[in-house]
A and B are shown apart, each in its own frame.
Chain A
């Protein structure tokens, strides 16, 4: 897997994170949390656009036409496959997965690839507020299930000890390898990750996930613009 594959994975995950955040813009526990969910959703959707825009300057765009027809061709984590039904799922994603993506972006910014150094830096400033939001809610306590799941998927996403992330780190293109990324994530969140046993033989190196599956049909249709078309056709008939 190349650096472009990794950047596409960050982009797809941030796109899905942004969409899932936005779904909570009217369901969060307070008006302030509603607004924060909407703002963080917009941030992450914007970040995904910047990341997609980095693929061409990186010299390789791994996106294939099947992204239009096959939801399993998108590279988001299983955590985003279905809409979240509980606030605890939002908090675990906000605190752990969003911060995991941020430490990977830091590794890109502090690595040797110029286009990533320049284009991704601003994201880190915006992500500071996502982090404060996630960490504060995390301190208030959530159930173990989404927490453990988010930790597992974050560590899986960083990749195996001898995989592409480790190689990109060895080449200097990333400033951190999988072990350092996991350590940085725990340090940032001031907590220790639960014991996670990962069977790397079952891990998909392209989608950076240990489980098959794909995002739900409605979300996929929305990403493809089909939901919008449905409304446009109705307005023409009216």
Chain B
């Protein structure tokens, strides 16, 4: 059964998914997926968020995003 299945290609990590519908608008976050590698994350992002007519979709590992400040903080903190 699937419950015994063990992924060995790495620990699953979270990827943020960004997309846009026109060239005029910037990429914006449309969701996230959890996957053990970039290939599977790409396949999952396309399968999950391809309901709309995006002209561009891209993914980025969440742990590669550098946070400058968070809610409740300011740029001076």
Contact = CB atoms under 8 A, between A and B. Distances in A.
Given A32-B48, A39-B50, A141-B8, A133 B2 contact: no
Interface in A10-60: 27-30, 32-33, 35-36, 38-40
B40 A136 contact: yes
Interface in B35-77: 35-37, 39-40, 42-44, 46-48, 50
A155 to B, nearest CB: 25
Instruction: Tell me the interface secondary structure of chain B in the complex.
Output: mixed
Given A32-B33, A35-B48, A140-B36, A133 B43 contact: yes
Nearest to B43: A133
B47 A35 contact: yes
A132 interface: yes
A32 B5 CA distance: 15
| B36, B37, B42, B44, most chain A CB atoms within 10 A | B44
Contacts of A209: none
A200 to B, nearest CB: 35
B43 A36 contact: yes
Contacts, number: 63
B1 to A, nearest CB: 8
Interface residues of B, number: 22
Contact of A137 (B40, B47, B48): B40
23 contacts: A27-B2, A29-B2, A29-B7, A30-B12, A32-B35, A33-B44, A35-B44, A36-B48, A39-B47, A86-B1, A87-B2, A87-B5, A132-B42, A136-B35, A136-B36, A136-B37, A136-B39, A136-B40, A136-B43, A139-B9, A140-B6, A140-B7, A141-B8
| A28, A32, A130, most chain B CB atoms within 10 A | A32
B27 interface: no
A140 B35 CA distance: 12
Interface string B1-39: 110011111001000000000000000000001111101
A129 B47 contact: yes
A135 interface: yes
Nearest to A30: B34
Nearest to A141: B8
A129 B47 CA distance: 8
A139 B43 CA distance: 15
A129 B42 contact: yes
A133 B40 contact: yes
Contacts of A139: 9, 37
A140 B8 contact: yes
A129 B43 contact: yes
Nearest to A24: B2
Contacts of A36: 43-44, 47-48
Given A39-B47, A133-B43, A140 B9 contact: yes
